[in-house]
Amino acid sequence: MERLKSHSEFVAVLKRRHKVSRNDIVVHYLMRDDASLHTFVAPEARRLGLAVSKAVGNAVTRNTVKRRFRVLARRYEQRLPEGCDIVMRAKPCAAAASFDMLDDQVASAFGKIAERVAQGR
């Protein structure tokens, strides 16, 4: 899974306001139209951005949450439609969540995104 790198890419995903919320995470998503990209990105690429604020905890805690999110996004990326950009935002309670709880939530959120995109929403 590729990464969202610039601030403008994050903002583009967050402004669309398509999101799926779970207990410990919120996943914002955007189906990319490749004409709007300034740099080359493979049309089938799925891209990931992470947003873990200081409300989640100290630097060690935030990095642990980000590491978990990366592993889980890699595990379930095939559930997402091609050309999908996502930003996974951690709620403050994500720091206390077990890996298995986050695993279930990411699987559920990615499945819901695929369902919504298939329906045209």
What's the pLDDT at 33?
A: 75
**3-state DSSP: the chain helix, strand, coil percent, rounded to 5?**
50, 20, 30
Average pLDDT, rounded, for the chain: 91
For residue 108, what pLDDT band results from cuts at 50, 70 and 90? very high
Angle in degrees, CA 86, 54, 10, rounded to 5: 25
Domain that holds residue 77: 2-119
What's the pLDDT at 41?
A: 73
The total of structural domains in the chain comes to 1
pTM over 0.75: yes
What's the pLDDT at 120?
A: 83
Q: Pick the residue with more confidence: 81 or 32?
A: 81
Mean pLDDT computed over 79-91: 94
* pLDDT of residue 36 exceeding 90: no
CATH number of the domain within which 96 lies? 3.30.230.10
> What are the pLDDT digits (tens) for 3-15?
999 999 999 999 9
